[in-house]
Homo-oligomer: A and B are copies of this chain.
Amino acid sequence: MSSKTIKTFNPRTGNFLAQEHVISTPKELNQKVTDAQLAFMVYRNTSGNERAILLETIADEIEAVKEEILGIATLETGLPSGRIQGETGRTLGQLRLFAEVAQKEFWVEASIDTALPDRQPLPKSDIRKCLVPLGPIAVFGASNFPLAFSTAGGDTASALASGNPVIVKAHNSHLGTHQCICDAIVRALERCNLPKGIFSSIIDEDYELGAALVQHPGIKAVGFTGSFNGGTTLLDLVSKRKEPIPFYGEMGSINPIVLLSSALEDPKMVSTLMGSINMGVGQFCTNPGLILAIEGEAAQHFCSKMTDAIQQTLGEVMLNRAIYDKYEASIAKISSEKSYTLLGQGTKAQGALSVQPSLALTSGKKFLTHPKMSQEIFGPYSLIVLCEHQEELAEILMQIEGQLTLSFMGEETEFDEHVHLIALAQEKVGRIIFNSVPTGVEVGHSMIHGGPFPATTAPNSTSVGADAIKRFVRPVCFQDAPQSLLPMALQDENPLKIFRKINGKWSLDKI
């Protein structure tokens, strides 16, 4: 064990917390991967029911220490109690959703093609297919979700649900929170009598150990939520591996909102947008960073109401020094550049890393000629772009890079008139929203939290919702296998009572 330790930072007081966290060594990392590989031999053979019990037990163990988590998480992140409580609830909800998914076993996508021994010119074999887990998964904790996208967050829950061991690289912004969650998971593994190698974590002072983790031959996939720079740096390392593995990086987005005519005059629109821009100090990957409308009197009026509103907001502390510095530098640059108009700023609250919410304005023409304007500014900031006409707005949607979400605000008749815009949007995003803001990602069976690059590195996946499990599995088929050697999902009797594709048709039948 290394003797080097680090501490976490309180963004309100500007002081480091007392608790010391021991930096992991490369040797420990190797040992943890080896332990995960050995644990996989056991864990891959557990039933969905056993995995469901593990996930439920993890949720229970976390719930049992939620007051302790609340205490440390608010100190480390500067996020208010309500937000941490909400995020704890969401984390428990995710663990329990994946418990349900694991227990019901339908994620295995069982498919059976029955034999035709008398087929001419050649007999047809019995072929049965299902999904199996990949092996040890590396999960990177996210700065902005100390719970829901960190140690026991969505990536961990979905990887465990499908039978994969997990090694978490903790985020240095909230190591105390991480420790509480680790302890809860270890207790859950003990209670479930499962190998402790199923879950482990590393703490890194800098980036070396995280880099070593994604390059380790024992790691079979990576789940990452964070910045574009962090994501693409890791992706680069992954692509240099001898064995290619999937890298699921969710790297944020500016989540455009298109305001159609009626929306500009909707009396609730300004407060709805303000709520979304400022939620969690704007530190969400679904923060609405771009508001598009057609210029005119209504748009001018809307802008002045938005300006009033932003000036009345109170900025809060950001998560850590790096995020704070980057936000401050970005806003300083915007106020100094002629191509933007800084419409207004809120006031700073008490606290070391407190920032001012900010709203800027530009024209469609300028937006189209300044690619930097479409880059995410992480924090309570949004850019209103007023377009000369519909064609310019369409051009922006055509030119814009991949996004997590795109929202349309308006009446149904207006949507029908703008079908071409909605079709364009579908090319660019993972989620198209009508008359809602992008913040508040529902964790359910149909949610897609993903999208084309650079929103993610894997547009064919989601990191929220039941389908997140598909990231950590691969298909295997069995040809003419004896019943006793088949996974339960593929046995004649359908002991799991799941829907299976039988000769191409969904069915609950036995064979």
Give A residues with C-beta under 8 Å from B.
Answer: 45, 100, 104, 106, 111-113, 122, 124-125, 127-129, 132, 134-135, 235, 239, 243-244, 246, 412, 415-416, 419, 422-423, 426-427, 429-436, 440, 442, 444-448, 450, 452-454, 457-462, 466-467, 473-482, 484-485, 499, 501, 503-504, 506
A448 in contact with B429 (CB, 8 Å)? no
- The reply to whether A127 and B422 contact each other, CB–CB distance below 8 Å, is no
A447 to B45, CA, bound (A): 22
Q: How far is the CB of A420 from chain B (nearest CB, A)?
A: 10
Please determine whether A125 and B442 come into contact, CB atoms closer than 8 angstroms: yes
Cα–Cα, bound, A244→B248 (Å): 11
25 cross-chain CB contacts under 8 A? A100-B504, A113-B447, A125-B436, A127-B447, A129-B447, A129-B448, A134-B460, A239-B244, A243-B454, A244-B453, A244-B457, A416-B482, A416-B484, A431-B478, A432-B476, A432-B481, A434-B479, A436-B479, A445-B503, A445-B504, A448-B476, A448-B477, A467-B475, A499-B499, A499-B506
Residue pair A475, B504 in contact (C-beta under 8 Å)? no
Residues of B close to A235: CB separation below 8 A: 244
Q: In the complex where A112-B446, A113-B446 touch, is A475 in contact with B460 (Cβ < 8 A)? A: yes
Give Cα A129–Cα B432 distance, bound, in whole angstroms. Answer: 10
Flag if B474 contacts A459 (CB, 8 Å): yes
Q: Contact check: which of B127, B246, B457, B499 meets A444 at CB < 8 Å?
A: B127
Chain A residues touching B, majority SS: mixed
Residues of B within 8 A of A448 (CB): 129, 475-477
**Complex Cα distance A134/B453, Å?**
12
Alpha-carbon distance between A125 and B443 when the two chains are bound, in angstroms:
11
For A503, list chain B residues within 8 Å (CB): 445
The reply to whether B476 and A446 form a contact with Cβ atoms under 8 Å apart is no
**Bound CA span A114–B220, Å:** 35
